Structure 1
Amino acid sequence: MGFNNLSQVKMARHIPTGQLVALKQTNMDECTEEELLQLMNEVLLSRLLRHPNLLTSRLVFSSCCQLWVLTPLMDYGSADTLLRTHFPDGMSESLIAYLLHGVLKALEYLHRMGYVHRGVKASHIMLSGEGRVYLSGLYSVYSMMRDGKRMKAVFDMPHHSPALLPWLSPELLRQDLHGYGVKSDIYSLGIVACELFSGRVPFQDMPPTLMLLQKLRGSHCCLLDVPPFPLGEFGGLKVLRSGVDSGIGESVATGSLSHSATAPPADRPQSPGPKNHSATLHNLVQLCLQQQPERRPSAFELLSHAYFKQVS
C-alpha cells in the first residue's frame, strides 16, 4: 500500500523492454480533493524533474477512475523496510553514509530547482537492485517560486503532516510569520540519520504537543551515544502511545506527573543500548538538527562533509 493507503503497488513486466517495473494503482474516486491535488503535483513534478537520485515516473495513464503510475522497480525496497527486516537495531555507518549521500544529491538538485521536499524520511529512501539510492515522495514537494521569483520562505502546511511530524523541522511546525525554507529538509535529514543508526524514529511515541515543545527547545532526542529515545518515559514525563494529542496541562509544566509507570510493558519494544559512533556522524547530526535554520549547512555544503569521505 502507498499514498495514504489509497494506492496498491505491484510488480509488473514492461512488455516493450521486458524489464520488471513497479506499478502503482490509485482509485481516484476514493481520494479527497486535497489528495487528488497531491497526485497531480506528483505527476507534474515527475515530468519536470530529472535526476539520477530522484525517483520519478516513466509512464502515467488513467483508465476509468484508476490512475496508473509506472516507476523503476526498487528491488531492495525502502530504507524503512530494510530497518524492519534486516537491521532492527540500526544500520552500519558505511551503509548510512551511502544512503544519506544519495539523498543529499537529490536534495541539492531539488533545492537548486527551487523546491523543498518536506517528506524526507526512511520510507522515502529507495534502493534499486543496482545499488542506486533514490529519493521518492514527490507528492510532498512544494515550490519556492512565486511570480517568477524565488521566495526565501513559504508557509504552506503539508496536508499529510500528521504522518510526518517526527521528521518535520521546528520552523515548519511553528507556523509563524517567518515561515520555512529548504533548510527544513536538512533538519529532516538529521532525524533520518538517527532513525537509520538506531532503528527507532526520534519523537515517534511522543504526544504531538510535547513533541513540538521539545523541538522548539532544541531537544534532539536522538543523541548517538545514548539510547535514542526511551519508549517508556522521556525526561520524567509519561509518554502516551495512542498517537492522540493529550495536550499540555499545568501538571506537565510543573513536572508533577505521576511516575507510576517506571518501566514499559513487556510487550513494548525496548530501545537498544548505547552504540559507539564516529565523531563525524555525531557532528553531521548536530549540524542538521540545529534549531535555527540559518545555522544549518545547505545540501551542497553537506555533500563535502567529512562523514561522506567513505562513500567516494
Structure 2
Amino acid sequence: MRRFDHPCVLKLLACFVSGRQLWMVTPFMGQGSIRSVMLRHFPQGLEEVVVASIMRYVLLGLQYVHKNGGIHRDIKAENILISEAGQVCLGDFGVAATCLASLMDHHQQQQHQQRSSAGGADVAPLCLGPPAELRAKTFVGTPCWMAPEVLAPQDDEGYDASADIWSVGITLMELALGKPPLARLPPMRIILNTVINPPPTLQDSPDGRKFSKAFKDVVSACLSKDPPARPTAAELLNHRFFKQAKGSAFLQSHLLSGVPQQASSHRARVKKGSKEMMQPAVGGSGRKFSEWLFPPGEGREGLQRFAAGAAAEHQLDAIAAGPSSTAPAAAGDYIAVAMADAGAI
C-alpha cells in the first residue's frame, strides 16, 4: 500500500509495530464501507446510476494498481470505502494481513540464503513488498468474489490482474442486489459452483427493479471464465454502462443523505494526549479490531509527532512514516488499525 498514491486507493500514511501487532495509519473514511452503508440503509441494493458511480471510482483505482504491477485480490463492497463527502476509494486490510504472513515466510527464506552466502553473517533482507510470483499464486480473497482460476488453479502459472475483473463483476451484482450470488451457500459449495458451473448472470431484481442491457452486458464481460477474455479496468471505464456515472457530490446527496457518520455510531473520539487511546471497535462486517483516531487538522508532520508520542507512551517497538512529505489531500481524522500478528517482524 505504501507505494500506491492515487485518490481512489486508500493511502497508507504510516505504520508501526506494537507488541505482536502491525498498525497501519490511513485517512479516516467517515462513512465506512459501501457494504456497511447498504446493510443499514439499502439492503435490497442500489440504483443502477449509484452502482455505476461507485464502481467507476473503483475501476480508476484498480487501473492504477494494475498499471503499477499490483493485484488487489479482494474486491467487494466491504473493501470499498466512502467519506462523508462521497469520495470513494479502495481499501484492503484483510488481504494485507494475509500478504504479510506470506511475505514473512518469503523473507525468512531470503534471510537464510543471505546469511549462508555471507558465511554466517546476520544480513537483514530489504523488505520492499511481496514478489509477483508469490502474490499471484497465493489463495487469497473471499470465496463469493474469487475467480475460478484462483479457486482451482490449472497450472503453476498462478493468476494475474484479470482475477480482479471477475471480482468487479461479482461486486457489481452485489451492489445491485444487496448480496453477491451464492451468498447463502457454505464456502465449499461456493467454490464448487464457481469452478464447475457457468458464471452467474445479472437478472432483474426480485423487488421489481429492471436493469439495463448495458449493465447486464458489463457483468457478463467481467464474469467470463476465460481470464484473457475479460476486459481490463481501462477498457471497462470506456464501457457504455459507466457513461452514466456521477461524481462524489451525487453520491453524497443520493447515497449518504441522512446517513450518520460511522464514528458517531460505534467509535469514541480520542483526544490528543489521552492515555486511553487504544479502543475496541466493530467494523462493517462485525469483526472486532483495535484502532486509534488521530485529531483532525494535524497534517503529516502532526501525525508523525502524535504517532511518535504514542510510540513512546505505549512503548511501541517501531514506527515508520510513509514516503511522501506532503500532507494528505483530504483533511480530517486519521485512523490507525491493528492489522495482523507481526511478532516475527
Considering the TM-score relative to the shorter chain, is it more than 0.5?
A: yes
Per-residue Cα deviation, 1:205-258 (whole angstroms, up to 9, x for no partner)? 223333233222443345222x5xxxxxxxxxxxxxxxxxxxxxxxxxxxxxxx
Is the Cα–Cα contact under 8 Å of residues 201 and 220 in structure 2 kept in the other structure? no
Per-residue Cα deviation, 1:94-145 (whole angstroms, up to 9, x for no partner)? 11111100110111111111111111010000111221110000552679xx
Query: Which residue does 1:27 correspond to in 2?
Result: none
Distance 1:83 1:73, change over 3 A: same
Q: What's the offset of the Cα at 1:66?
A: 5.0
Q: Which amino acid is the alignment partner of residue 137 of structure 2? A: F
TM-score normalised by L of structure 2:
0.57
Query: Which of 297, 308, 311 is residue 231 of structure 2 equivalent to?
Result: 297
Pair 1:112 & 2:67 matched:
yes
Q: Which amino acid is the alignment partner of residue 288 of structure 1? A: C
Distance 1:157 1:64, change over 3 A: closer
TM-score normalised by L of structure 1:
0.63
Pair 1:307 & 2:285 matched:
no
Q: Which amino acid is the alignment partner of residue 175 of structure 1? A: P
Distance 1:73 1:221, change over 3 A: same
Unaligned runs of 5+ in 1: 1-44, 144-148, 228-271
Query: Which of 212, 233, 246 is residue 278 of structure 1 equivalent to?
Result: 212
Give me the whole-angstrom Cα distance separating, in 1, the residues matched to 2:47 and 2:183. Answer: 22
3-state secondary structure, aligned to 1:99: helix
Per-residue Cα deviation, 1:6-47 (whole angstroms, up to 9, x for no partner)? xxxxxxxxxxxxxxxxxxxxxxxxxxxxxxxxxxxxxxx3x2
Is the Cα–Cα contact under 8 Å of residues 13 and 27 in structure 2 kept in the other structure? yes
Give me the whole-angstrom Cα distance separating, in 1, the residues matched to 2:24 and 2:42. Answer: 30
Give me the whole-angstrom Cα distance separating, in 2, the residues matched to 1:188 and 1:199. Answer: 15
3-state secondary structure, aligned to 2:16: strand
The percent of aligned pairs where both chains have the same amino acid is: 33
Q: What's the offset of the Cα at 1:202?
A: 1.2
Give me the whole-angstrom Cα distance separating, in 2, the residues matched to 1:103 and 1:297. Answer: 15
3-state secondary structure, aligned to 1:115: coil
Pair 1:166 & 2:148 matched:
no
Query: Which residue does 2:137 correspond to in 1?
Result: 155
Q: What's the offset of the Cα at 1:150?
A: 7.0
**Alignment length, in residue pairs?**
216
**Where do 1:3-14 residues align within 5 Å?**
none
Is the Cα–Cα contact under 8 Å of residues 224 and 274 in structure 1 kept in the other structure? no
Give me the whole-angstrom Cα distance separating, in 1, the residues matched to 2:79 and 2:25. Answer: 17
Per-residue Cα deviation, 1:54-112 (whole angstroms, up to 9, x for no partner)? 00222223444554432212122111011101101100111111110011011111111
Pair 1:207 & 2:186 matched:
yes
**Where do 1:79-228 residues align within 5 Å?**
79-137=34-92, 140=95, 154-158=136-140, 161=141, 164-177=142-155, 178-225=157-204
Distance 1:139 1:275, change over 3 A: same
Q: Which amino acid is the alignment partner of residue 184 of structure 2? A: D
Per-residue Cα deviation, 1:160-188 (whole angstroms, up to 9, x for no partner)? x4xx0000000100123052110000000
Distance 1:180 1:64, change over 3 A: closer
Unaligned runs of 5+ in 2: 104-130, 247-345
Q: What's the offset of the Cα at 1:48?
A: 1.2
Q: Which amino acid is the alignment partner of residue 234 of structure 2? A: F
Is the Cα–Cα contact under 8 Å of residues 218 and 291 in structure 1 kept in the other structure? no
Give me the whole-angstrom Cα distance separating, in 1, the residues matched to 2:36 and 2:219. Answer: 22
Give me the whole-angstrom Cα distance separating, in 2, the residues matched to 1:84 and 1:105. Answer: 25
| Structure with more helix by fraction | 2
Give me the whole-angstrom Cα distance separating, in 2, the residues matched to 1:64 and 1:200. Answer: 37
Give me the whole-angstrom Cα distance separating, in 2, the residues matched to 1:210 and 1:124. Answer: 23
